[in-house]
């Protein structure tokens, strides 16, 4: 169990940590520190962005825990779950973790009022979609067969 926790922690830092943390930070550059000094008049946008961010973070963390507990694996395609996860948020979306990461990015774009982050969020979502269709869904079909096919008939890819 400790090994599974450590693997999930590492993959969380490496995958969503880079996609939703490091890259947006690099895109924003000096806007990160300047925003707190110069844009205090936009509290409504900051609050809205923070709320969207926190919802996305909660979704992502819930999925990571569900993958570990119910699926006996990690969020990473190189260390996938051993069991198909169809409970929790996966009852409403086949890819709630990607939805959560996308919401984190949208929250950051709203919070920092950054056009660059909006474009990056769109790029990431399109990339998630392509990866899901071309890589993940065929792998899940191979790994879980009829169980996955039935799941796909009941639950939409995104929302």
Whether 80 maps to a domain, the answer reads: yes
Rounded CA-CA distance 96/75 in Å is 11
pLDDT tens readout for residues 73-88: 888 887 888 999 999 9
| pLDDT mean across residues, the chain | 91
CATH number for the domain including 16? 1.20.120.1630
Rounded CA-CA distance 44/46 in Å is 5
pLDDT band for 58, please (50, 70, 90 cuts).
very high
DSSP state of 40: G
Does pLDDT of 138 surpass 70? Answer: yes
Rounded CA-CA distance 16/74 in Å is 12
The mean per-residue pLDDT over the stretch 92-113 comes to 96
Whether 159 maps to a domain, the answer reads: no
Does the global pTM surpass 0.75?
yes
pLDDT tens readout for residues 15-43: 999 999 999 999 998 777 666 555 555 67
Whether 84 maps to a domain, the answer reads: yes
Range of the domain at 144: 2-30+39-154
Sign of CA dihedral 3, 11, 86, 83: negative
- The domain tally of the chain equals 1
What's the Cα-to-Cα distance from 18 to each of 27, 56, 60, 82, rounded to whole Å?
A: 12, 15, 14, 25
Residue pair 103/59 in contact by the 8 Å Cβ criterion: yes
């Amino acid at each position: 169990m400790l090994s599974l926790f450590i693997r999930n922690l590492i993959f969380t830092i490496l995958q969503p940590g880079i996609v939703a943390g490091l890259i947006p930070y690099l895109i924003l550059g000096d806007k990160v520190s300047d925003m707190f000094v110069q844009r205090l008049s936009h509290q409504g946008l900051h609050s809205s962005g923070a709320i969207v961010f926190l919802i996305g973070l909660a979704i992502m963390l819930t999925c990571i825990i569900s993958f570990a507990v119910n699926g006996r694996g990690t969020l990473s395609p190189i260390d996938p779950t051993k069991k198909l996860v169809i409970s929790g948020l996966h009852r409403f979306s086949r890819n709630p973790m990607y939805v959560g990461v996308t919401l984190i990015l949208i929250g950051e774009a709203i919070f920092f009022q950054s056009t660059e982050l909006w474009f990056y969020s769109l790029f990431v979502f399109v990339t998630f979609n392509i990866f899901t269709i071309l890589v993940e869904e065929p792998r899940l079909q191979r790994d879980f067969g009829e169980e996955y096919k039935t799941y796909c008939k009941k639950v939409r890819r995104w929302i």
